Amino acid sequence: MLLLLGSWGMGRRSPWVRASDPSDCGAAAFASIAGHHRHHISLEHARSLVGTDRDGTSLAGLRDGGRAIGFDARPARATYEALGQVKLPAILHLKDDAGHYVVLDEWTPEDVALVDPRVGPRRMSRQQLESSWSGYAVEFHPTATLRTRPPDFQALTALVRTLLPHVNPLLLALGISVLATALGWSTSFFLKSFFDDILPARAHDSLKLLGAALVAAGLLQSLLQFFRMWLTARVGHALQRTYGRQFIQHLMTLPMRVFDSRNISGFVMRVNQLDAIQGALTEGLVALVVEGLVFTGTLGIIVSLDPVLALFSLCALPPVLLGTFFLSERVRSAQLDSMTQGDEFAGRLLEVFEGIRVIKISSAEKGYSQLLLDKFDTLVKARHELRVAMLLPLLWSMLTSTLVIGAVLWYGGTRVLAQHISAGELLVIFGMVALHLNPLQRLPTMLLNLHSAFIGMARLDEVLKLPAEETRASSPITLASVQGHLQFDRVCFEYKHRRPVLKNVSFQISAGECVAVIGETGSGKSTIANLLAAFYLPTSGDVRIDGVSTRELDPRELRRHVSVMFQGSHVFQQSINDNITMMHPLRPDDVSRIAHVANIASFIESIPQGYNAQVAQGGANLSTGQLQRINIARAIMKDAPILILDESTSNLDSATERGVMAAIKEARKGRTTLIITHKLSTAMEADRVMVLSKGELVEQGTHEELQLRDGHYRKLFPR
C-alpha cells in the first residue's frame, strides 16, 4: 500500500512506501523510487513490475521493473565511497535476515539517510551500513519515456465506493445523533433556569416540571442513541457482509501465480480485520461529523453568551491539531507494524501446527516453541507500542482541554463576582465549553481509528485490485470437445526473474497415449503439469491442446477438460464424499462407481459413516495410500479426456503402490495420460517415457528402447 508520510530533513525526499509483507521490501523500495520521480505506483503494481514472490525480489527484477516504466536501471557492486557518485535515490541491498532492500536518499562521508520499507526514514552511520550492506546497489536514471503518474488515493476511493450504497441510513443515523446531542445541550439551560429562576423564587411547581422535563429529555436521548447505534450496527453488518463476500469471491478468481508468490496468512488476516474496519467506518464517520457539528454549534452558543470566553475555548484547537499531526506519524507506523506482525505470526503459527507431527518425531518442540514465542513476543510488543503511540495524542488533547477549562472557570468566576453574568449563565457557559472541548479530546482517537480503518481498507483493496484470471486472447477459442492431443513447441519457462525451469522443450503426445515423464528433482517435471493446466503460460514457445495454443483458451474452460492429481494433493476437512466430488452435485451411485474405479470403495464402505465420514485436517485419519486413492477418485470424477498424475505413487509401500497403480490403470482407459514420476515401476507402465534433465528433454522412447541406450535413463535406472 502506498502511504506517504511526508518528508524529513531538507529538500524533496522519497516517500515511504510501507512493505505489507517481509518479502515486499524490494517492491516497496522500488515504488518509493518511482514516487520520488513523481511516477506514483501502488505496492501491488510494483510487485508485478519487479517480479516479487515468496522469496522476495531479485536485482534483475528491480532492473527490469525500472526499465519497464522509463528508468535506465543499473545494478552494480560498489564501495561506500563510490555511493557518493551514485544517482540518488538508489536502492541498496542489505544482508540482514534473508536479505533486505532500502532506499538510499542521501549520502555523506560519515552517514547516510535511508528510507526503510519496514520502519520508515532513518539515518545510519557509515560503520553500521558497511556492516550490513551486501555491496550491491541499483541506480535509477530517469529517461524521456518516464511519465508523471499522480498518486492513487486507494484508501479514500475504496472508502467512498464502500459507503455509497449505505448513504441513506448513515444520514439518518447522523440526523438522530444531532437531535440526541441537542437534547443533551438542553441540560445546561435547565440548570440555568434552576439556579437563576426556580431557586430564588422557591417555585416548587416549576421544580417538578423541570425534573420531569429532564427525565423526559434523558429518556428520549437514550432512545435516540439506541436507534442510532442500531442503524450504524446494521450498516456495519451489511458493509462487512458485502465487502467480505466480495473479497472471498475475488480470491477464488485470482490466478495461481498470486497464491504461489504470497503468504496465504496475509489473506486470512485481511478478512479478520473486516470487523474492526466496519466498526471504525460506520461509528467513526458518524461520530466525526457529529462531533464537528457539536464543536461548531457549542462555539456559536458560547460566542452569543460571552465572546471572550469563546476565545478561551478556541485556544485548545491549535495545540490539539498540532499535537495530533506531529504524533500521528508514530501512530501510523505502529499501526502498520502491528498489522504486519499479526500476518507474520498467523502464518508461522499455521505452518508450525500443520507440521506438528514432524516436529514431535524430531523432538523439536522446544526449538519451535521458542520460535513461536519469539514471533508472539514481537507481535505483543508491536501492539503495545501501538497502544502507547495512540495514548500520546489523547493525553495531549486532555491536558490542553483541562488547561482551557481551568482558564474558563477562572475568568468566568471573576465575571460572576463582578456581577457581569449570573451563576446560572456561568453554568451554561461552562457546560457548553465542556461540550465544546469533548470533540477535541476525542479527535485524536477518532482520526487514528479512522486511519487504521483506511489502512485496512487499502490492504483489502490491494487484493481486490489484483486482476482476476482472465482469457489471454481478445476472442478466446472454445473447445466443444477435446480429443487429448498435447504438444509442447519449443517451450521455455522461468518464474519471473528466476533461473529457467524449462529450456526449449518440444514433444507431442497422441490422444489416448500414456506417457511417463522421468527426471531428477528440479528438472521441470511438475512445471509441465502446471503449463498444461494453464496455471502459467510459457515464457516463450507454445503449449497446444488439440492444436490450439493455451494462450488462445480461457484457462477455466480449458481445465474442464484436464484432470490433475498433483504431488501431495490436498484433502479438505469435509466428508469423503465432498472430497471426491469437490462440491459438484453427483448422485451417490456415481460416487460409488468412481470409488470402485479408484480402488477405495471397499475401505470407505467398511467404516461406520461410509462416504459421510469426516476427513481430519491434512488427512491425519487416513493412510497415505487411502489419501492417494481419494485423490485419484477426484481426478476420475471430472471424466476429463486428459489425465495428469504428478508423483501419484510417491512414498508408498509396495503393496499400497500396487493397489494405486491398479486404480491408475483403470482410470487412464480412454484418456491421454501424463504420469510424472521418479519410479521405474511406474515408468514401465507407460507407452512412452520422456526424460528431463535440468529443464531439457534429453531422451524419449519406450522403456526397452531407453534401457538399450547409454543415456540419462540408464543412469537413473541401471539394469
Assign residue 111 the CATH number of its domain.
3.90.70.10
Q: Report how far apart the first and last C-alpha atoms of the chain are (Å, whole number).
A: 58
Number of domains composing the chain:
3
* Whether residue 688 sits in one domain with residue 547: yes
pLDDT digits (tens, 9 = 90+) for 404-413: 888 888 887 8
**Using 50, 70 and 90 to split pLDDT, how confident is the model at 205?**
low
Q: List 140's β-bridge partners, or say none.
A: 73
Task: Kindly state whether residues 83 and 175 are assigned to the same domain.
Answer: no
Q: 373 or 300: whose pLDDT is higher? A: 373
Distances 378 to 38, 373, 695 between C-alpha atoms, Å? 35, 8, 42
Q: Is the pLDDT of residue 68 over 50?
A: yes
In this predicted structure, the answer to whether residue 324 has a pLDDT above a threshold of 90 is: no
pLDDT per position as a tens digit, 684-700: 888 999 999 989 999 99
Checking if the pLDDT of 7 tops 50, the result is no
pLDDT (average), residues 195-218: 70
Q: Would you place residue 503 in the very low, low, confident or very high pLDDT band (cuts 50, 70, 90)?
A: very high
Q: Are residues 563 and 707 in the same domain?
A: yes
Whether residues 200 and 143 fall in one domain: no
What average pLDDT score do residues 217-226 get?
81
pLDDT of residue 37: 94
Give residue 651's pLDDT: 58
112-149: burial string, b at 16+ Cβ within 10 Å, e else: bbbbbbbebbebbebeebeeebeebbbbbebeeebeee
Instruction: Give per-residue pLDDT as tens, 669-684.
Output: 788 999 988 888 788 8
The residue from 116, 151, 186 where one domain ends is 151
Residue span of the structural domain in which 229 resides: 155-333+386-464
Dihedral sign, Cα of residue 424, residue 427, residue 433, residue 438: negative
Which of these three, 132, 151, 170, is where a domain ends? 151
- Phi, then psi, of 517 in degrees rounded to 5: -115, 120
**Is-contact 298 305, C-beta < 8 A?**
no
Does the pLDDT value for residue 654 go beyond 70? no
The answer to whether 120 touches 35, Cβ cutoff 8 Å, is no
- Which segment of 107-121, 188-202, 334-348 scores lowest on mean pLDDT? 188-202
Counted residue by residue, the chain has a size of 719
In a shared domain, residues 567 and 522? yes
Q: List, for residues 107-145, the tens digit of each pLDDT value.
A: 999 999 999 988 788 899 999 999 999 999 999 999 999
pTM: 0.73
CATH number of residue 306's parent domain: 1.20.1560.10
73 in the same domain as 221: no
Residue ending a domain, among 151, 177, 205, is 151
From residue 404, alpha-carbon distances to 318, 325, 440, 466 in Å are: 12, 20, 12, 50
The residue that leads in pLDDT, 441 or 677, is 677
More confident site: 569 or 314: 314
**Residue 106 or residue 235, greater confidence:** 106
Q: Based on the domain organization, do 303 and 411 belong to the same domain?
A: yes
What is the pLDDT, as a whole number, of residue 147?
A: 92
* 1 has pLDDT over 50: no
Average predicted confidence (pLDDT) for the chain: 82
> Do 435 and 515 reside in the same domain of the chain?
no
Residue 710 confidence (pLDDT): 84
- Cβ–Cβ under 8 Å, residues 37 and 139: no
Q: How confident is the model at residue 225 (pLDDT cuts 50, 70, 90)?
A: confident
Q: Report the alpha-carbon distance of residue 375 to residue 618 in Å, rounded.
A: 24
Q: Is the pLDDT of residue 707 over 70?
A: yes
pLDDT score of 201: 66
Share of the chain above pLDDT 70, in %: 89
Ranking 40-44, 91-95, 292-296, 704-708 by mean pLDDT, the lowest is 292-296
Give residue 159's pLDDT band: very low, low, confident or very high (50, 70, 90).
Answer: low
**131 and 168 share one domain:** no
Residue 14 lies in a domain: no
The more confident residue out of 288 and 79 is 79
Residue 254 counted as domain residue = yes
Q: Does 161 share its domain with 299?
A: yes
Retrieve residue 612's grid coordinates: 459421510
In a domain, 433, yes or no: yes
Determine contact, residues 647/528, Cβ cutoff 8 Å.
no
CATH code, domain carrying 635: 3.40.50.300
Q: Do the domain assignments include residue 471?
A: no
Within a domain: 2:
no
In a domain, 11, yes or no: no
Classify residue 559: in a domain, yes or no. yes
- 380 in any annotated domain: no
> What is the C-alpha to C-alpha distance for residues 82 and 43, in angstroms, rounded to an integer?
30
Whether 443 and 577 map to the same domain: the answer is: no
What local confidence, expressed as pLDDT, does residue 38 receive?
92
pLDDT at position 22 is 76
β 90-94/133-142 pair status: antiparallel
- What percent of the chain lies above the pLDDT cut of 90? 20
- 521 and 418 in a common domain: no
